[in-house]
Amino acid sequence: MSVGVETIVTLSMTVLIIAANLLILVMLCTTDMLALLNKHFFVSLTVADLCVGLLVTPFSVWTTVFDRWIYGERFCHVEAYVTAILYVASVHSLAWLSVDQYVALRKPDRHASIMTSTRSGCWVAFVWTTAVGFCVSPLFGASTARYYAEAYVCVIDWSSQTAYFITVAVLLVVPPLVALSFANVYIFTATYGRDKAASERSSLEPSASAVTSAGPAR
């Protein structure tokens, strides 16, 4: 039992993850500083990251102290799937946030009708339902988890149900990664610059029209 650099780093990361994501949630609830982002997807992403700081990294802190997994095999099994759920939810939320920004730039006049609040909320519910559903079969099935000493966490043992996990990867992980890649590559194209300028002009036009219609102050 000893407190080393790994313990300090892991503890610092845990505190930073919790503090940063709590601050983001407070900002989203009390200010309009992030009004240009889709709050549904951003809250989903923030909650997933916050849960990592609350449900995953704190256990790694004590693991670094004892240099072994001290919580038992069953808890290691559960912890591995909780980590997988949060990873899937985080990746999908980030992908949808990127898609939302892509639609906002490419179709600014139709963005509000395409990415409605109800539709965004349904997609968030679908993301978390899918992430949890992915774990139902392996969590209560034949698959196991193992302690990954290099990272001080428990991970899923993919070899026990290889076909299932390959299918899950193709259906759940590949699509959001493709969406993220497409949206981020688009940022570096000339089309992005034109669409961004057009979007900024369209957002300023209503304000200019309101000032003009109001007329000079008397």
72: left (phi over 0), alpha (psi -120 to 50) or beta: left
Fold entry, domain 5-197: Rhopdopsin 7-helix transmembrane proteins (1.20.1070)
pTM of the model: 0.80
29 band by pLDDT with thresholds 50, 70 and 90: confident
What CA–CA distance (Å, rounded) separates 39 from 29?
10
Which DSSP state fits 2? -
Instruction: Indicate the average pLDDT of the chain.
Output: 81
- How high is the pLDDT of residue 125? 94
Domain ranges, ordered by start, for the chain: 5-197
